Amino acid sequence: MSKSSWSQGAGRQSRRTRGSRRGRGSVSDERPVILRLAGISRRYSGAENAPALSDVTLTVREGEFVAIVGASGAGKSTLLNLLGLLDTPSTGTYVVAGRRIDELDERARDRLRASTFGFVFQDSHMLLKETVAGNAALGLSINDVDPALRPGIVAAALDTVGLLEKAGDLAGNVSGGERQRVAIARAIATAPKILLADEPTGALDTANSTRVARMLRDLNRDGVTVIMITHDPSIARTADRVIEISDGKVLSDEATADQATVRGRRPPETRELPAATQSSWSRVRERIGAAISHHTVHAARAALLLLAFTVGSGGLVTAIGLSQSAAAQVVGRLDSAALDEFLVVPKNTPTAIRTELALPDDAPASQVAEVAQQRLRGLDGVLSVGLTSIAEFDEGVTLLNPAMVAEQPVLSPQIRVADREYLRLRGVSLGTEHESMRLFERNAEAPAVILGPALAERLGYADQVPGSQLWIGSTSAAIIGVIGELGEEPQLASALIVNPALAAVVSAADPTLIVQTEPGLPAGLAEVVGATVAPGDPSLFTAETVADLRSLTQGVASDLVSLITIVSWVLLVLSSLSAATAAYLSVHARAAEIALRRAVGESKRSIWGQFVLEGVLVGLLGGVLGSALGVVMLVVFAAQQGWTPTFNFAFLGVGVAAGACTGIIASLYPAALAAQQDPALAVRGT
């Protein structure tokens, strides 16, 4: 932009208008009208007193330099915000470059604002962690100007304000006066026809104020219409026309330059912002870049957000993985149980059972088992029957005769009665074929026991000691050995297994029978078990087939899955809430930035989209990290539990999708809030 050699007018002409006298403020009547306000009022909601502006009628012509003065609270900023389409009037008509603004929708107003106005505020509203050039280019990226054209435009704008050599510096590292010049560069980069400046020198020292005022003057000489609020009389004097506002009304409207001078200025250049030629893909890339750069600039905030999403999706992946592994574990155990077995469980009514089986009331459990077994063996397809029962034995178990040795470990392990068939069918064995196992035949009379490995250790019993004895209370029994294979009964590790000869000693409950059949028969046989064992009252014995057990445990497993899934979703919701809170707070922290973006033409939708995009990106990354974390946790936990981790690559998808979705959800409200930020309020509020 060239500097004009036109001098300020010699003979000054001055006109005064009072109150609301209309349309007389313009000094250059030949120039086309660019702004026309007729009967404009603005009343703020909630403010009961007088309106901030009432019945203002004004005309501004192209190329004018207008200063607006007045006491604090007079309504100057309200007027400037209305002029710049940052706010809308309560009543009255406002026409910008021939277009009535009440006939435009919000997006059209945004566009008109971006194409017509440039803003300079008292606060420079710099993005301090962005470079000087980046700040000056803000309006260009918001208006989708071809990225290839931007450096040239920005360089010209920075050159105009004398800051080209600082283009690469961070805005946070330049002085206050320089920031205000960058703000002017940012405003003029978009080639505005009208520059609106709200106390542009308010925060500057005299030297910088003079410099900024001179720049505005130069811009005006190059044809830009300038409207500036100032409380500094010396700055106001640099304008061609001074409008004084008082109590929301135009108090005076005075020309300070003679008409000839103003008329003699060259006509405004028809400068236009280059058309938005950016391709959609390049725009999307740029928005993603902006979102990433926002996160890297505010690393601490981004890291916290990331942590929330990582914990949330990591918890989800771990939980799903673990619950599925646990379920697979349960189901796997059952699968390994033969498909040729079922259990016969007696009802807990010993007397009724004995009556039904024609036994005396005080018949021991072993007799009940005997009768039941005989009847079961009578069924076609039954191959063998084993028995087990829980004992209720309160006295201690010792290795040495307690009557002789007082000082020795006395334990109270869980005691189970079982016969050889039962142990065989359940895969419980000493590890090697053991001759003495015949002592566990149902009708063996010599008391014998087998120790669970954990119990043996606690008792201090070393295996393979021939002829060892164990004392159950005051009854001694031969120790056959220590369990080597726990088969399907891992809980027997710390139990004492006694043979049926000891059933009475340990007060065994009525036994559960395990029936082995020819393959495929359990379901059918289970149907008739009750009637076979107890024809008078079939309900005294119930049959549980493996299939029953399997559906039962599948039920348990799926309950487990849903429980853990619910817990992990709760975790995810909590982490989303904390992320949403962080995003919500960041909207407030970024109010000035948002206002500025709105002022330079960014639409509400685009602000909304930017916030959601920032949320999605960090959520997505959190989802990826969380999934990886979840897999590691799953492997570690499963190893601890001795499980085979059931791993499905779909979990990773779930984790990543959960991260992205919660990223969106967590940012929806903050994004809406950001989009609703009133640009005028935010600009004023700082």
Question: Rounded to an integer, what distance in angstroms lies between the CA atom of residue 599 and that of residue 81?
Answer: 10
Question: How many Å apart are CA 428 and CA 434, to the nearest integer?
Answer: 12
Closest separation between CB of residue 229 and ligand ADP, Å?
7
Instruction: Choose among 66, 63, 32: nearest CA to 220.
Output: 63
By CB under 6 A, name the one of 74, 311, 455, 505 that touches ligand ADP: 74
Give yes or no for residue 70 binding ligand ADP (CB under 6 A): yes
Q: Which is nearer to ligand ADP, 50 or 410 (CB)?
A: 50
What are 438's two structure tokens?
């015949």
Binding mask 297-326 for ligand ADP (x = CB under 6 A): ------------------------------
Decide if residue 681 touches ligand ADP (CB under 6 A).
yes
Q: Is 431 in the site for ligand ADP (CB under 6 A)?
A: no
d(CA 453, CA 493): 5
Nearest to residue 147, comparing CAs of 296, 297, 281? Answer: 281
Distance in Å, CB of 143 to ligand ADP, minimum: 27
Q: Output 186 or 684, the one with its CB closest to ligand ADP.
A: 684
Q: What is the DSSP string of 457-519?
A: HHHTPPS--TT-EEEETTEEEEEEEE-SB-TT-GGGGG-EEE-GGGTTTTTBPSPEEEEEEST
The secondary structure of the chain in percent helix, strand, coil, rounded to multiples of 5, reads: 50, 15, 35
d(CA 195, CA 213): 13
In the bound state with ligand ADP, the residue whose beta carbon lies nearer, of 189 and 229, is 229
Give the residue with the Cβ less far from ligand ADP, 52 or 243: 52
CA 1, distance to chain mean position in Å, is 50
Q: Which is nearer to ligand ADP, 56 or 564 (CB)?
A: 56
Q: Which is nearer to ligand ADP, 218 or 232 (CB)?
A: 232
Whichever of 26 and 77 has its CB closer to ligand ADP, that residue is 77
Which residue's entry shows tokens 């990886």? 628
**Secondary structure class of 196 (helix, strand, coil):** strand
Task: Return the range that interacts with ligand ADP (CB under 6 A); candidates 70-78, 263-271, 381-389, 663-671.
Answer: 70-78
The C-alpha atoms of residue 8 and residue 5 are separated, in whole angstroms, by: 10
Q: Write down the residue that tokens 């071809």 correspond to.
A: 146
In the complex with ligand ADP, the residue whose CB is nearer, 65 or 121, is: 121
Identity of the residue, 44 or 584, whose beta carbon is nearer to ligand ADP in the bound complex: 44
47 binding ligand ADP? (CB under 6 A): yes
Q: Which is nearer to ligand ADP, 51 or 663 (CB)?
A: 51
Q: Is 2 in the site for ligand ADP (CB under 6 A)?
A: no
Residue count (the chain): 686
Cα angle at 26 between 22 and 29, to 5 degrees? 115
Cβ distance to ligand ADP smaller for residue 69 or 369: 69
**Residues 235-254 within binding reach of ligand ADP (CB under 6 A):** none
Between residues 161 and 243, which has the closer beta carbon with respect to ligand ADP?
243
CB nearer to ligand ADP: give 140 or 682: 682
Region from 66-74, 170-178, 484-492, 494-502 binding ligand ADP, contact rule CB under 6 A: 66-74
- The Cα–Cα gap between 334 and 411 comes to 32
Of 628, 663, 577, 549, nearest to 321 by C-alpha is 628
Residue 623 CB, nearest approach to ligand ADP (Å) = 41
Region binding ligand ADP by CB under 6 A among candidate stretches 9-17, 44-52, 314-322, 423-431: 44-52
Q: How far is the CB of 90 from ligand ADP (least distance, A)?
A: 12
DSSP one-letter string for 435-471: GGGGGGSTT--S-EEEE-HHHHHHHTPPS--TT-EEE
According to DSSP H, which parts of 54-149 are helical? 76-83, 106-116, 132-136, 138-142
| Calpha distance 667→294 (Å, rounded) | 15
At closest approach, how far in Å is the CB of 291 from ligand ADP? Answer: 30
The count of residues interacting with ligand ADP (CB under 6 A) is 12
Q: Name the one range near ligand ADP by CB under 6 A: 65-73, 114-122, 257-265, 600-608.
A: 65-73
CA distance 664 to 462: 63
The reply to whether 5 sits near ligand ADP by the rule CB under 6 A is no
Closest approach of ligand ADP to the CB of residue 683, in Å: 11
**Cβ count within 10 A of residue 672:** 15
Report the residue from 73, 409, 484, 524 that binds ligand ADP according to the rule CB under 6 A.
73
Candidate ranges 74-82, 303-311, 314-322, 565-573; the one touching ligand ADP (CB under 6 A): 74-82
In the complex, the smallest distance separating the C-beta of residue 74 from ligand ADP, rounded to whole angstroms, is 4
Report if residue 48 touches ligand ADP, rule: CB under 6 A.
no
Q: CB of 157: closest distance to ligand ADP in angstroms?
A: 27
What would the x/- binding string for ligand ADP be over residues 75 to 94, using CB under 6 A? xxxx----------------
| 379 exposure class (CB count in 10 Å sphere: 0-12, 13-18, 19+) | middle
We find the least distance from the C-beta atom of residue 210 to ligand ADP, in angstroms, to be: 23
User: Where would I find the H helices in 33-119?
Assistant: 76-83, 106-116
Under 8 Å between Cβ of 241 and 1: no
CA distance to 342, 365, 415, 420, per residue, from 506 (Å): 26, 11, 8, 18
User: Please, what is the minimum distance in Å from the beta carbon of residue 231 to ligand ADP?
Assistant: 9
Shortest Å distance, C-beta 78 to ligand ADP: 3
Query: 182 or 195: whose CB is closer to ligand ADP?
Result: 195
Q: Which is nearer to ligand ADP, 76 or 109 (CB)?
A: 76
Nearer to ligand ADP, 77 or 388 (CB): 77
CB of 680 to ligand ADP, least distance (A): 7
Window of 23-31, 73-81, 481-489, 636-644 that interacts with ligand ADP by CB under 6 A: 73-81
By CB under 6 A, tell whether 44 contacts ligand ADP: yes
Whole-angstrom CA distances from 165 to 161, 182, 189, 665 are 11, 12, 17, 44
CA 673 to chain centre: 17
Let me know: does 323 contact 564? Beta carbons within 8 Å: yes
Of the two residues 76 and 181, which places its CB atom closer to ligand ADP in the complex? 76
Report if residue 221 touches ligand ADP, rule: CB under 6 A.
no
Q: Which residues pair with 38 in a beta bridge?
A: 93
The one segment of 68-76, 141-149, 235-243, 382-390 that binds ligand ADP by CB under 6 A: 68-76
Residue 72 interacts with ligand ADP (CB under 6 A)? yes
Burial of 316 (0-12, 13-18, 19+ CB in 10 A): buried
Stretch that binds ligand ADP, among 16-24, 67-75, 236-244, 662-670 (CB under 6 A): 67-75
Report in angstroms how near the CB of residue 44 gets to ligand ADP at its nearest: 3
CB of 199 to ligand ADP, least distance (A): 8
* DSSP summary character for residue 343: E
Q: Which residues contact 170 (CB under 8 A, 6 or more apart)?
A: 128, 129, 130, 131, 132
The correct pick among 34, 37, 52, 56 for binding ligand ADP (CB under 6 A) is 52
- Separation of alpha carbons 620 and 655, rounded Å: 9
What residues make contact with ligand ADP under the rule CB under 6 A? 44, 47, 52, 70, 72-78, 681
